[in-house]
Amino acid sequence: MKTFSSKDEMYKFSSAARAEGKTVGVVPTMGALHEGHLALMRKARKECGVVIATIFVNKTQFAPNEDFSRYPRTIESDKAGCEAAGVDAIFAPTTDEMYSPDFATYIVNEKAAGILEGAVRPTHFRGVLTVVMKLFNITAPHVAYFGQKDYQQTVVIRQMVNDLDIPVDIRIEPTVRERDGLAMSSRNRYLSESERKQAVCLHTSLVKCRELMMGGEKSAKNLAAAMRAVIDTQPDAKIDYVEIRNPDSLEPVDNVRPGDVALVAVRLGKTRLIDNMIL
């Protein structure tokens, strides 16, 4: 397995693979890898001739009050995980390599900033889309893998690819969970023992929503209220949002139909967790 920190060397590696007729797959991550990330890499391994994993904690997607400086950085164990998952090359640049001091060009989804994650984190998707576009340009993939865990992110990335005619095939893989249902996340390690136990309420609320819907409840308002009630049983859980939305447009729905998506964001102490389920 190769590790690149230079954009030029990364691009040369990928171009050479493309010239040999290989399908190049990329898995963008911020490191602190867990089974969710590794599942994306193993999927890429099955489907692509060359697999690139990127590891870059992207400053532009964090607001000044967020956890950029304390975000976990575990590059040595990340490398071992990538190697075991069959990755051919890691791209792990520095912030200086990615962003020159006079950097000034961003990609903005004009709708996303106002809703769900974008309402709470107004500059988040601008940072995500900009870095994903840069990573696509540097790693020149045919295919890119993302997790359903970050549902709104998958929607804005697909829209960017459609709107800007980017020749990359976007594949979304299911959320990998802990045994109790908590979605794996690099941020779970911030949780205290008590918060960790309470954190399962995100998943429990989604399961409750699905059960009620299967039982015939169609009102998004009633389903959201039931989900809130589940989360509110946990003393330290503070809800940012509980929503049921159209899976493509993320517009609110009144009457829930199969295929709509339930999304939750909850704060536990200083940690903010998100999860979702297709109903």
Interacting residues toward ligand AMP by CB under 6 A: 29-30, 36-37, 40, 146-147, 149-150, 173, 175-176, 183-186
End-to-end CA distance of the chain: 40
Pairing of strands 143-147, 169-173: parallel
Backbone CA torsion sign across 246, 177, 208, 124? negative
Neighbours of 6 (CB within 10 A): 13
CB of 127 to ligand AMP, least distance (A): 11
Decide if 33 contacts 77 (C-beta within 8 A).
yes
Which are the catalytic amino acids?
37
The residue sitting closest to ligand AMP, measured at its beta carbon, is: 147
> What are residue 219's DSSP bridge partners?
255
Q: Least Å distance between CB 35 and ligand AMP?
A: 7
**Residue 59 DSSP code:** G
What the block records as the tokens of 49 is 């001739």
Cβ nearer to ligand AMP, comparing 56 with 223: 56
Least distance (Å) between residue 200 CB and ligand AMP: 14
- The sign of the torsion formed by the CA atoms of 226, 231, 234, 236 equals negative
Closer to ligand AMP at the Cβ: 49 or 181? 181
Report the nearest approach of ligand AMP to the CB of residue 36 (Å). 2
> Of the two residues 256 and 265, which places its CB atom closer to ligand AMP in the complex?
265
Least separation in angstroms between residue 61's CB and ligand AMP is 9
Nearest to 34 by CA among 177, 153, 173, 171: 177
DSSP β-ladder status, 24-29 and 50-55: parallel
Residue with smaller CB distance to ligand AMP, 176 or 265: 176
* Residue among 173 and 243 whose Cβ is closer to ligand AMP: 173
